[in-house]
Every structure is written in structure tokens, then in C-alpha cells.
Chain A
Amino acid sequence: MALILDLVLQAVQMVLVVAVAPLVLGVTRKVKARLLRRVGPPLLQPYLDLRKLMHKEAVLAQNASWLYRVAPYLIFAATWVAAALVPSYATGLLFSWSADLIAIVALLGTARFTLALAGMDVGTAFGGIGSSREMMIASLAEPAMLLIVFTVALVAGTTQLSAIATVFSTGSVGLRVSLALGMFAFVVVATAENARIPIDNPATHLELTMVHEAMVLEYSGRHLAMIEAAAAVKLVLYFSLIICLFLPFGIAGPDAGVAAFAFGILAYLVKLIVLAVLLPIGETSVAKMRVFRYPIFVGSAFAAAALAVFLLFVSQGF
């Protein structure tokens, strides 16, 4: 019985992240449009887009291999599993004990690798340029991400996300400049990974500076729907990580009652919406960067995360 209850709680979390992902995307698009004095699409437009793409015919290039057809499902699956591992509304969910933060980074790395392969599969120039840039950004962002993992792991004493959220939400951490640095680095990494301004513009097609859209340019129909859904889930995943690591208040404990779980879900949704409003505000206040500026920008995240680890070493000793 207890196992069934655990499975239900885990299923709620898995359904929640996928169900809410297009809405979060819709909120960011709406807020961005309003900031640019446009009316913008309705909030539910991403759901309609996905439905439309699902019903359309999937056109394949003549020389597309099996990889090209499998990649969208692989990407979505890896991203979804990673999102299911992040404690969103409650700690101690069933799956969260099977993998830690490093496994999540690895899952996201797998998804990115598959996407880069798929981008090069058909052999168009745009796919190749997108894949090569994606790999360049990844080679800068992933070390920074791992250093952020080390930072929170040094503070909390574990890399297990549930345990980290428990430690942080009870507030026994004290004042830590390292965590502020880690959060700055994480925001930069999340911007780079989710293809947002200033690294990449999610709203353009056929522009020489695009990265993510260049890789998926050849996709159509249900394949494109899977990729777009995966991108939305990835955004929610990074928001959830920010919430879980840096704003974990209101999260329910492992054996809480129904009321606590309901409050946890409500708090999680409110925090998601707040982040989805903050993201376009940040995006409209900066300009898109030149490609050659990426290493310095993402490198500053690496420097900040490394500094955070160093500061922890000074205060805690080896």
C-alpha cells in the first residue's frame, strides 16, 4: 500500500512537470510580448501548437537515417526522466533516491549529444553549424554546472537532491556567499542551456546566430512536437532546480499529509510562474551576444562556481 502511494506521488510529479511545461513557455512568451508592447499569443498557445504538430505529417529528408527518427523520442525521454528526478513539490519522492544531481547532469548531456547528432544527420549546413555551436556552449557550461553541483554538495554534505532540499529548507545553512555565487553561475548556465538571450534567441528562424533552432530546422510534424515539448520540459527542469536548490521553502516533507502536498504543489506553481515572468524581463534588458563573446560570458559562470568552491574550502578546511 505504501509503495502504491509512493508511486502515485511520483506519478503526480512526472505528470505535473510535463503538463505545466507548455504553460510556463506560454507565460514567458506572453510577458515578453507585453514588454515589447505587442499583444502576444494566448497563454495556451504552446498546447495548441503541440496539438497541431502532432496531427501534421512528419516530412523526412531522403538521406535521413534511423537516428534522425529516433532522436526526438530519446531527447524527450532523457529530459523527462531528468525532470522527474528533481523534487518539485515534495522531497523524498520514490525516484529521487535512484539518482542524484550528477546523474541529472549526465541525462541532460545525453539529450544534448543526441540532439547534436540529429542536427548533423541530414547533412545541411545549418544543422552542422548549430551542432558545433551547441557543443562549444556545452563544453563551457558543463564544467561550470559540475562545479555548482560541488558547491551545493559541499554545503549540504550530499549530492542527493531530496536531501539537499531538506537541508536548505530547514534553514540551518547560515549565511553563505558561496551559494549566492553558485546561484549566479546557475542562472548563467541555465540561460546558455535553454537557448535564451543573450546566448541564443528562441524566437528566430533563419538567422546566422541561431543555435538550437538551427539544429531542429529540418524537423516537422510529431518529431518537431517531441523536440519542442522536450525544450519546454527542460526549461521547467531548470526552473525546478533553481526552486529546489535556492528557494526550497514551502516544499512538503516525505510523510506529509494531503494538505501539505497540496500546499507544496501550489507553492511550486507560484514559484514557476514568478520565474517565468522574471526570465523575459531579464531577456529584454540585455542584448544578444556575439558568438565570440560566449566563452567569456559562460566562463564567468565557471569562475564564479570555482570561486564558490574555493570559498567553501577556506571556511571549512579540507
Chain B
Amino acid sequence: MDNKLLFDVAHLLAGSMLVLSFLLLYQDRITAVINVFALQAVALALSVAWQALVQGAPHLLVTAAIALVVKGFVIPMALHQIIRRLQIHREVEQVIGAGPTMLTGLILVALSILLVQPVGEVSIYTREDLAFALAVILLGLLMMITRRNAITQVVGFMSLENGLILAGTGAKGMPLVVEVSVAFSVLIAFIVFGVFVFRMRERFDTVDVSALDRFRGERRDTL
């Protein structure tokens, strides 16, 4: 019974990450997207902390703390500040529309579950975490390709990285060094993205990435 409860809580936390990924796809306001992303980071931190308890691996708590502080608070606050300074916090974007995007997302989730299902010889925790992590990664990718706004693309990338951490902690024995370096590389990527967004705004007066297409020699009639 105790074991069942352990599994149920792990399932609840990892499952809520997936649900929040869907919520990211559903939102079309930038501030709401950032808030949902912060919530997902908190869910990730809780999930990793629970894994630390289940696996008896205290170093995972460090990972949880990094996720909570950096991705739950620092990055969302920085993003909020960026959109305030760029004056785009009231913008609404619709690219493909939430309906088809969510349908595609459902297909991706089904695909990742089917892919992970045949993996044998591992504990049910690992299999479940892998399925959820793959789904979160694919949904992050989907978000990156369906959005045109550079900020929401950054959020898609960060949410993809949330999935990577979930996968890493689900598998036993990932060293802390790897996690710390992943966290730092994400931070660097975030800074690069930030500089990129500001440069883009300066040059084109917009953060719509379709503005870049003209400078790659591609013709785009609708801007």
C-alpha cells in the first residue's frame, strides 16, 4: 500500500507536468504562457524531489532546488521584465490555432507512450517517467514550431529542457555534474536568447520571427 502511494504521487507530479505542457499550448497570452511555465518548473522541482525520496538519492534534491529557483522564479521574472520593457505584455498571438495544435499534441503524447511501452527490464517508475518526459519534450518542440513570437519560442525551449531533466532524474544514477552543466548551459542559452530578442527588436521593431525570413532570401507575402 505504501509502495502504491509512492507510485501514485510520482504519477501525479509527472502527470501534472504533462498537463501543464498542454496548458502552455492552449494559452495565447504571453504573460499567461510565462506563468504556466513557472508552474511547470515548480511541478518539475516537486517531481524531482519526490524521486529523491523514492530512490533514496539526496543529490537529486540539489537538482530540484536548481529547478525551483532558476526556472521557477529567476527565468520567469526575467521574462516578465523583458516583455514589460519591450511593451508586448498585452499581445495575443494565434498561429495555427489551439484546436489543431492540441490534437497534434495528443497524437505526440500517444506516440511517446507507444514508443516507451515496449521498453522492458526497467522499473515502472522509469518507464513512466520516460514516457512523460518524451511527451513533454515533443510538446516543447511543437510549441517552438507553432509559435512565431520569439519569447514564446524561448518558453517552448525551456519547457523542452524541463522534459530532459525529468527523463534524467527518472533514470537512476545520473551524476550531479551532468545536471549542473545542463542547468548552466540552459542559463547561457537563455542569456543568448535574451540578447537575440533585444537585438531583433532594435533592428526590426518586432519580435515576430517571420521578420527574419526576408533576410534569409525567402519570400513571405504576409508579414
Interface size on A, residues (CB 8 A): 21
**Residue A215 at the B interface, CB < 8 A?**
no
What 0/1 pattern do residues 1 to 38 of B give for CB contact below 8 A with A? Answer: 00011011101100110110010001000000000000
Chain A's nearest CB lies how many Å from the CB of B139? 11
Contacts of A307 on B, CB cut-off 8 Å? 18-19, 22, 106, 109
Contacts of A181 on B, CB cut-off 8 Å? 19
Q: Which DSSP category, helix, strand, loop or mixed, fits chain A's interface? A: helix
Number of residue pairs across A and B with beta carbons under 8 Å? Answer: 63
Whether A314 pairs with B113 at a CB distance below 8 angstroms is: yes
Whether B98 pairs with A311 at a CB distance below 8 angstroms is: no
Instruction: Kindly state the separation between the CA atoms of A160 and B20 in the bound complex, as whole angstroms.
Output: 32
Partner of B99, one of A296, A306, A311, A314: A296
Contacts of B132 on A, CB cut-off 8 Å? 314
Chain A's nearest CB lies how many Å from the CB of B86? 27
Supposing A306-B106, A314-B132 touch, asked if A299 and B98 sit within 8 A by C-beta, the answer is yes
Partner of A310, one of B16, B97, B110, B127: B110
What 0/1 pattern do residues 117 to 157 of B give for CB contact below 8 A with A? Answer: 10000001001100110000000000000000000000000
Residue of B nearest to A303 (CB): B102
**Residue A176 at the B interface, CB < 8 A?**
yes
Instruction: Kindly state the separation between the CA atoms of A219 and B9 in the bound complex, as whole angstroms.
Output: 53
Whether B8 pairs with A314 at a CB distance below 8 angstroms is: no
Whether A303 pairs with B128 at a CB distance below 8 angstroms is: no
Contacts of A300 on B, CB cut-off 8 Å? 26, 98, 102
Contacts of B9 on A, CB cut-off 8 Å? 175
Contacts of A296 on B, CB cut-off 8 Å? 26, 97-99
**Residue A66 at the B interface, CB < 8 A?**
no
Whether B105 pairs with A311 at a CB distance below 8 angstroms is: no
Residue of B nearest to A178 (CB): B15
Interface size on B, residues (CB 8 A): 29
Instruction: Please provide the 3 A-B residue pairs with the shortest distance between their CB atoms, ordered closest to farther.
Output: A177-B15, A175-B8, A174-B8
Instruction: Kindly state the separation between the CA atoms of A177 and B13 in the bound complex, as whole angstroms.
Output: 8
Chain A's nearest CB lies how many Å from the CB of B14? 9
Whether A175 pairs with B5 at a CB distance below 8 angstroms is: yes
Contacts of A174 on B, CB cut-off 8 Å? 4-5, 8
Chain B residues at the A interface, C-beta cutoff of 8 Å: 4-5, 7-9, 11-12, 15-16, 18-19, 22, 26, 97-99, 102-103, 105-106, 109-110, 113, 117, 124, 127-128, 131-132
Q: Given contacts A175-B12, A300-B26, list 14 more A-B pairs with CB under 8 A.
A: A174-B4, A174-B8, A175-B9, A176-B8, A181-B19, A299-B98, A299-B99, A299-B102, A300-B102, A303-B105, A307-B19, A310-B109, A315-B124, A317-B117
What 0/1 pattern do residues 281 to 314 of A give for CB contact below 8 A with B? Answer: 0000000000000011001100110110011011
21 contacts between A and B (CB under 8 A): A174-B5, A175-B8, A175-B11, A175-B12, A176-B12, A178-B15, A181-B19, A296-B99, A299-B102, A299-B103, A300-B26, A300-B98, A304-B19, A307-B22, A310-B110, A310-B113, A311-B11, A313-B113, A314-B11, A314-B127, A314-B131
Instruction: Kindly state the separation between the CA atoms of A181 and B26 in the bound complex, as whole angstroms.
Output: 15
Whether A177 pairs with B106 at a CB distance below 8 angstroms is: no
Contacts of B128 on A, CB cut-off 8 Å? 314-315
Chain A's nearest CB lies how many Å from the CB of B44? 15
Instruction: Kindly state the separation between the CA atoms of A295 and B98 in the bound complex, as whole angstroms.
Output: 9
Instruction: Kindly state the separation between the CA atoms of A181 and B124 in the bound complex, as whole angstroms.
Output: 22
Partner of A177, one of B19, B105, B109: B19
